[in-house]
A and B are shown apart, each in its own frame.
Chain A
Amino acid sequence: EPEVTQTPSHQVTQMGQEVILRCVPISNHLYFYWYRQILGQKVEFLVSFYNNEISEKSEIFDDQFSVERPDGSNFTLKIRSTKLEDSAMYFCASSPPVSGNTIYFGEGSWLTVV
């Protein structure tokens, strides 16, 4: 069964460093997302991406964050200058191009900022 894949599975980085989290969405999907889950808390929406542009973003997704689809298969989340509070599990997700369809999540990337 097709799945969303994410790399790395775990990354430790120093505060202030830039981090890029990578995702390969399911191949025929057109909507892509990043969510995050701080340890012990709810899963929070960060950003949705469609047709090579951001379609919606949350308050969390400030100027430190950016997303890119550099080629036909990858979808990346960049955090420019990491803070301690960016430590979380980051989930990439994708869905088919029809409203109200299942959103499929990857296994996540644990980011620990020290």
Chain B
Amino acid sequence: SQQGEEDPQALSIQEGENATMNCSYKTSINNLQWYRQNSGRGLVHLILIRSNEREKHSGRLRVTLDTSKKSSSLLITASRAADTASYFCATGSNDYKLSFGAGTTVTVRA
């Protein structure tokens, strides 16, 4: 399986701090996508990084990808209470489907 596995499972930080979570996977990928899910809601796409890319930025988000280590990280800078959610990495292959990890639950304390 090429499923991503996130680490840590849960993270609690103070508003304004940075949050970093990691994702590891097992087999070759075409791309890796990060999603956010608020409790009981849908999956919101955050960022996609392709296998030939090493780093991408989107607003307060920074994603890195190390294909040699089969790992990715998501950094949220200057966190806000609204960032409280579960974050999932999902690996994509050439067959178009995504394999999701178990997610990291982030709680941002005001």
A31 at the B interface (CB under 8 A): yes
Nearest CB on A from B37, distance (A) = 8
Asked if B102 and A100 sit within 8 Å, CB to CB, the answer is no
Interface residues on B, range: 20 to 34
Cα of A46 to Cα of B35 in the assembled complex, Å: 18
Asked if A95 and B96 sit within 8 Å, CB to CB, the answer is yes
Number of A-B pairs whose CB atoms are under 8 Å? 64
CB interface residues, B 15-68, toward A, < 8 Å: 30-31, 33, 35, 40-45, 48, 50
Asked if A107 and B41 sit within 8 Å, CB to CB, the answer is yes
Q: Which residues does chain B contribute within 8 Å of A99, judged by CB atoms?
A: 30, 94, 96
B100 at the A interface (CB under 8 A): yes
Nearest CB on A from B100, distance (A) = 4
Q: Which residues does chain B contribute within 8 Å of A43, judged by CB atoms?
A: 43, 88, 90, 100
Cα of A91 to Cα of B43 in the assembled complex, Å: 8
Q: Hey, which bits of chain B sit against chain A, CB under 8 A?
A: 3, 30-31, 33, 35, 40-45, 48, 50, 88, 90, 92, 94-103
Q: Hey, which bits of chain A sit against chain B, CB under 8 A?
A: 31, 33, 35, 41-45, 48, 50, 55-56, 89, 91, 93, 95, 99-108, 110
